[in-house]
Amino acid sequence: MNDKPTRASIERALADGSGLLRLAPAWVARNTVPPGRRLGLPEEAYDRGERGWICERWLGSCTRAENAGDVPDEGLSWLAQDGQPCCILLDALAVAAPAILGEERASQSSTLGYLAKIFDCEDRLPYHLHPKAEHASLVGKSPKEEAYYFPADVPLGKHPETFFGVHPYIVAEERYDLLLPYLLSWDSADILKHSRAYLQVPDEGFHVPSGILHAPGTALTIELQEESDIGVTFQALNAGRILPKARLSKNVRPGDWAKEGERYVLRMVDWQLNGDPYFYENRHLSPQVRAEQPGGAEHWVFYNSDKFSGSKLVVKPGQSLVTQDNGAYGVFAWRGQGRYGGRAVEGNVPGRDELVVSHAVATKPLLVENTGDGDLVVLKFFGGGLNPEAPRIGGSSAM
């Protein structure tokens, strides 16, 4: 294939890969905080000069990173052939969505319907939120609901706790303006005193609808979210430096900012969700059994949402299991070695750890084999609507 695929070239790639497509790693630089250096790159590869550091890897991405600079396709995943990137996944879907997603899904969307990523930061991220649809649409963007999973076999970093929401009394007493002075002065991290921190526990996670203020901690995080890279920063001082105040107004229409200034972004806060006195109980994710077989087991780790879902598949050494799903999805081999639907996968080896499973193959029994000495651990990522059976917490619905 060349850089501009055709339907015929993608169908040949699917045939050659037994219905699976291999993806090259998509590295993303950020300039907010230094990297945690747990992505397996050579030391010199993390520093990208004025663009910041490689802090993220995006998986199965059809979303461009909202970064300044001269990398127009940053964040977009590429298909790989013979070990080399050959075309952008988004372009492949544009010409051959039915072959990858199936006819019904392709009639509704020309993407996988999710964005998955690994983020790896040395310091806690600043307190921020992702606007809900009503505000994101005003600047021509999409909302960003998300969920986190913290792998169990990597160091947690120096701040393994995440601040979420605000103290419930703020909402009960409608004292929303308590946050305004910190936005006006833009000189400290003191806004965090109005929030609560929750421990990042290995093999667990959180569900975070858009509109929720949060400051993610330093645990290496595998994230599944809507296809968007939108955010509004509420915390001025982070990781030892004052962030540009433009981060506060970055996704606000100029006219709205001119009219209301800092007060406007308080409209973006979903106060009821932020002040939920049972926030932990309603948003904490722990693995839930999806299937168990003699060779291993599958657990839901991303759920409680109608926007996406995801699971962790573990196959024991020398064993295999069979998986079958409702539609096309992404695969990320986290640890171990094996074969996924006949394609070799190897965790911690970028270029051999990421696949897209086409609808035709996903909806039939598919064999996953462990050929290594340790567990084969695989994450599976699904777009919205594919798994209505995924768990809900207390019958909650996505906001």
* pLDDT tens, residue by residue, 214-241: 999 999 999 999 999 999 999 999 999 9
Determine the average pLDDT of the residues in 340-362.
97
Q: How far is CA 395 from the centre of its chain?
A: 23
Distance of alpha carbon 344 from alpha carbon 325, whole angstroms = 20
Distance of alpha carbon 355 from alpha carbon 60, whole angstroms = 8
Read off the pTM.
0.96
Determine the average pLDDT of the residues in 114-133.
98
Determine the average pLDDT of the residues in 314-325.
98
Question: Fold identical between 7-283 and 288-383?
Answer: yes
Phi/psi of residue 179, nearest 5 degrees? -85, -20
Fold category of 7-283 in CATH: Jelly Rolls (2.60.120)
pLDDT of residue 397: 41
So where are the chain's domains? 7-283, 288-383
Secondary structure of residue 166 in the 3-state scheme:
coil
Looking at the DSSP assignment, which residues form a beta bridge with residue 338? 345, 370
Architecture of domain 288-383: Sandwich (2.60)
Helices 7-16 and 89-101 meet at what angle, rounded to 10?
A: 70
Share of the chain above pLDDT 90, in %: 94
pLDDT of residue 395: 45
Distance of alpha carbon 297 from alpha carbon 295, whole angstroms = 7
Mean pLDDT rounded to a whole number for the chain: 96
Determine the average pLDDT of the residues in 72-77.
94
Determine the average pLDDT of the residues in 330-343.
98
The residue whose two tokens read 């990297």 is: 35
